[in-house]
Amino acid sequence: MDPGEWFFQAHFFQDPVQPGSLGVQAMCQLLQFYAIERSLSSGFPAPRFEPVLTGQAVSWKYRGQVTPGTARVTVELEIREVVENEHQVRVIGDGWLWADGTRVYQVRGLGIGITASGTA
């Protein structure tokens, strides 16, 4: 972790922490990586990712913070479900973010979708 990152000075006034949304974004990117590695988009012409699934219950629990003093951030993701149909592939998982070996938050039910470009 680079203590000079812009968000430490911009997120909370005089309380430098990484926004939780950046960790959730990292989890979404891991879901996308999983989908690409498993070729889940191969059935769609010009596939695109839907960054967050609507209609999917998601819960976050924060129990700590990533601060400028954090040396290492680790993100874990467990895939719970892959649902495929002719219009969309949905990938849903649970994720955890660790700061220097301590779990600081978790997200349950996070999901992305894959569709053909131009469809919803």
pLDDT digits 0-9 by tens, 67-76: 999 999 999 9
| Model pLDDT, residue 119 | 60
| Model pLDDT, residue 114 | 94
Q: Structure pTM? A: 0.87
11 is catalytic: yes
* Dist CA 120 CA 67 (whole Å): 38
- CATH number for region 6-116: 3.10.129.10
Please tell me whether residue 23 adopts helix, strand or coil conformation.
helix
DSSP count for the chain of H helices, then E strands = 2, 5
Please tell me whether residue 104 adopts helix, strand or coil conformation.
strand
Catalytic residue from among 5, 11, 29, 68: 11
Q: What residues contact 95, with CB distance under 8 A and at least 6 apart? A: 24, 27, 30, 75, 76, 77, 78, 106, 107, 110
Sites in the chain below the pLDDT cut of 50: none
**What is the dihedral sign for C-alpha 98, 72, 81, 44?**
positive
| Model pLDDT, residue 117 | 83
| Model pLDDT, residue 45 | 86
The CB density around residue 8, as the number of other CB atoms within 10 Å, is: 19
| Model pLDDT, residue 89 | 94
| Model pLDDT, residue 9 | 84
